[in-house]
C-alpha cells in the first residue's frame, strides 16, 4: 500500500508516518510539507531514517499537489491548527491552507481514485451552543450536566450531531467546509472518505503553543521555569479539555484504511473522552508533582474570542463501529511529554 501524508513533517503527520512504518514495513510512505511550522525541520531526520519519501511543497499550490505521485490513500494532516488564527494575522492564509489545500487534494483523489482521510477538529462545534451548556462549577473543574435534552450533549461529552452553527472561528469554518466538500466528492466521484473530528492531540515532540497543544505548552513552561497564567473564566483554570495520544489516532486511521466503506457513516469524533479530560487547574497540580515545583500561576480573568468552558469528545460512535478506544491515559501522556521536555530543553525553548 502507498500512503501519502500531507503535513508529514508536523507533529501529527510525522507520528502517523512512524506508526505506519512500525506496523507495516513494506508500505510506501511519502508526504509533502512546506516546513512553515517552526520546529518541523527537526522531524526530517526521523522521516529519512524511516525510509519515508519527503517532498518539499505546499498544498496551497495546485501545481505542487498535482505533481504528487499516485497513491492508495491520502491522509490530510496539514493545517494551521489554532482557533485564534486569522484574527490578528492573515485570514486568507488560514483559509488557503485549511480549505483551498483540501480542495486541491480532493481533486487529486478524484483523478487518481485514491481514498481520503481528513483530520478535522472539535472546533467545528458552535461556540454559542457550547457556552450555553449549563455546566457545574465544581472544585477543580467545570463539569457537564448529567441529564440534558440538548441534541448531541450528554455526560459523556459532545457527539457528532451537536450544533455546528456559526460562529465557530475561521479555523472551524474552514474545517467544516472541508468536511462537506469531502463528503460531496466521495458521493459524486465514488472514492472512500473518512472524517475524524479530533480533540486535543498531545504527546512528546509536539510544538506546544498557548492556542494549540495546551497540554504540551503547559509542561514545557514548567520544564523551562517560565511563567504561566490561567486565562479567561475569572482566571480559575477550571476550563476542561480531553487529550488524545497520536498512537490512538493512528489506530483509528489504520482501522479505517483497512475497512470496506459499506455504510453511510463517514464522520467520527476522535478524542480522549471523559476518562482523559483535565482542567488547567488539574493539569497544573500534576505538573507540580512531575517537576517538584510549586509554581505560582498568574490570573487573567477576561475571556478571549472563542473561549469555551468545557469540551470533551464523545467517541461512542467510533467505539461502536470500530471497537476503538484510547490505550493511553492522561498520566501516561503527560509523563511522556515531561520526559521529552526534560531531555530536549534546547528544542522546546524555540517552539
**Residue closest to 76 by CA, chosen among 100, 43, 46:** 100
**Residue 45 in domain:** yes
**Residue 160 in domain:** no
| Structural domain count, the chain | 1
C-alpha cell of residue 119: 483530520
**Residue 63 in domain:** yes
Q: How many CB atoms are closer than 10 A to CB 261?
A: 14
CATH label of the domain that carries residue 189: 3.40.50.720
**Residue 89 in domain:** yes
Q: Which of 209-213, 291-295, 325-329 has the lowest mean pLDDT?
A: 209-213
Q: Report the residue count for the chain.
A: 351
Q: Which of 211-225, 242-256, 312-326 has the lowest mean pLDDT?
A: 211-225
Euclidean distance between CA atoms 280 and 229, whole angstroms: 10
Cis omega (within 30 of 0) for bond into 52 = no
pLDDT for the residue numbered 86 = 64
pLDDT for the residue numbered 323 = 96
- Compute the average pLDDT of residues 183-193: 96
pLDDT for the residue numbered 317 = 97
pLDDT for the residue numbered 211 = 62
The secondary structure of the chain in percent helix, strand, coil, rounded to multiples of 5, reads 40, 20, 40
Above pLDDT 70, what percent of the chain? 97
209, pLDDT greater than 80: no
C-alpha cell of residue 95: 483559509
pLDDT for the residue numbered 88 = 64
- Compute the average pLDDT of residues 190-217: 90
pLDDT for the residue numbered 344 = 93
**Residue 181 in domain:** yes
Q: What is the four-CA torsion angle of 285, 280, 278, 251, rounded to 10 degrees?
A: -110
**Residue 218 in domain:** no
Segments forming the whole domain that contains residue 34: 1-125+168-198
Residue 54: pLDDT band with limits 50, 70, 90: very high
Q: Give whole-number Cα distances, 17 to 108, 298, 300, in Å.
A: 20, 39, 39
Euclidean distance between CA atoms 321 and 178, whole angstroms: 23
pLDDT for the residue numbered 72 = 98
Residue 327: pLDDT band with limits 50, 70, 90: very high
**Residue 263 in domain:** no
Whole-model pTM: value is: 0.96
Residue 205 Cα to chain centre, angstroms: 14
- 74-102 pLDDT, tens per residue? 999 998 767 766 676 678 878 888 899 99
Q: Which of 98-107, 135-144, 206-215, 339-348 has the lowest mean pLDDT?
A: 206-215
Q: Are 181 and 101 in contact (CB under 8 A)?
A: no
Q: Are 331 and 200 in contact (CB under 8 A)?
A: no
Tell which wins on pLDDT, 240 or 95.
Answer: 240
- 119-139 pLDDT, tens per residue? 999 999 999 999 999 999 999
Burial string for 163-180 (b: 16+ CB within 10 Å, else e) reads: bbeeebbbbbbbbbbbbe
Residue 254: CB partners within 8 Å, gap ≥ 6? 19, 20, 23
C-alpha cell of residue 242: 480531553
Angle 91-133-196 from CA coordinates, rounded to 5° = 50
Q: Which of 29-43, 88-102, 243-257, 277-291 has the lowest mean pLDDT?
A: 88-102
Q: Give whole-number Cα distances, 196 to 37, 76, 155, 200, 285, in Å.
A: 22, 11, 21, 12, 31
Euclidean distance between CA atoms 120 and 56, whole angstroms: 23
- 3-class SS at 345? helix
**Residue 260 in domain:** no
Amino acid at each position: 500500500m502507498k500512503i501519502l501524508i500531507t503535513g508529514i513533517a508536523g507533529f501529527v503527520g510525522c507520528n502517523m508516518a512512524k506508526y505506519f512504518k512500525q506496523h507495516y514495513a513494506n508500505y510506501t510512505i511519502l508526504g509533502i510539507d512546506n516546513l512553515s511550522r517552526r520546529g518541523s525541520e527537526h522531524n526530517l531526520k526521523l522521516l529519512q531514517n524511516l525510509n519515508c519519501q519527503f517532498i518539499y511543497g505546499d498544498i496551497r499550490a495546485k501545481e505542487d499537489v498535482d505533481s504528487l505521485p499516485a497513491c492508495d490513500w491520502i491522509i490530510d494532516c496539514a493545517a494551521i491548527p489554532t482557533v485564534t488564527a486569522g484574527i490578528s494575522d492573515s485570514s486568507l492564509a488560514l483559509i488557503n491552507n485549511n480549505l483551498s489545500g483540501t480542495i486541491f487534494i480532493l481533486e487529486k483523489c478524484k483523478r487518481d481514485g485514491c481514498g481520503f482521510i481528513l483530520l478535522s477538529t472539535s472546533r467545528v462545534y458552535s461556540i454559542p451552543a457550547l457556552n450555553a451548556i449549563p455546566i457545574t462549577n465544581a472544585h477543580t473543574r467545570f463539569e457537564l450536566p448529567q441529564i440534558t435534552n440538548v441534541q448531541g450533549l450528554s455526560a459523556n461529552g459532545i457527539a457528532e450531531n451537536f450544533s455546528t452553527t456559526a460562529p465557530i472561528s475561521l479555523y472551524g469554518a474552514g474545517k467544516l467546509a472541508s468536511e462537506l466538500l469531502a463528503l460531496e466528492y466521495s458521493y459524486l466521484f465514488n472514492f472512500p472518505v473518512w472524517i475524524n473530528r479530533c480533540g486535543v492531540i498531545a504527546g512528546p515532540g509536539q510544538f506546544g503553543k498557548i492556542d494549540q497543544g495546551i497540554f504540551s505548552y503547559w509542561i514545557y513552561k514548567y520544564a523551562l521555569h517560565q511563567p504561566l497564567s490561567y486565562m479567561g473564566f475569572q482566571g480559575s483554570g477550571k476550563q476542561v479539555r480531553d487529550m488524545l495520544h497520536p498512537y490512538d489516532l493512528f489506530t483509528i486511521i489504520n482501522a479505517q484504511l483497512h475497512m470496506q466503506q459499506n455504510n453511510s457513516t463517514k464522520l467520527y469524533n476522535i478524542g480522549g473522552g471523559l476518562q482523559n479530560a483535565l482542567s488547567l487547574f488539574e493539569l497544573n497540580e500534576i505538573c507540580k508533582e512531575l517537576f517538584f515545583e510549586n509554581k505560582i500561576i498568574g490570573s487573567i480573568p477576561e475571556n478571549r474570542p472563542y473561549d469555551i468552558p468545557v469540551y470533551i469528545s464523545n467517541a461512542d460512535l467510533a467505539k461502536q463501529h470500530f471497537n476503538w478506544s484510547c490505550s493511553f491515559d492522561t498520566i501516561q501522556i503527560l509523563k511522556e511529554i515531561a520526559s521529552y521536555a526534560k531531555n530536549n530543553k534546547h528544542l522546546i525553548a524555540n517552539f
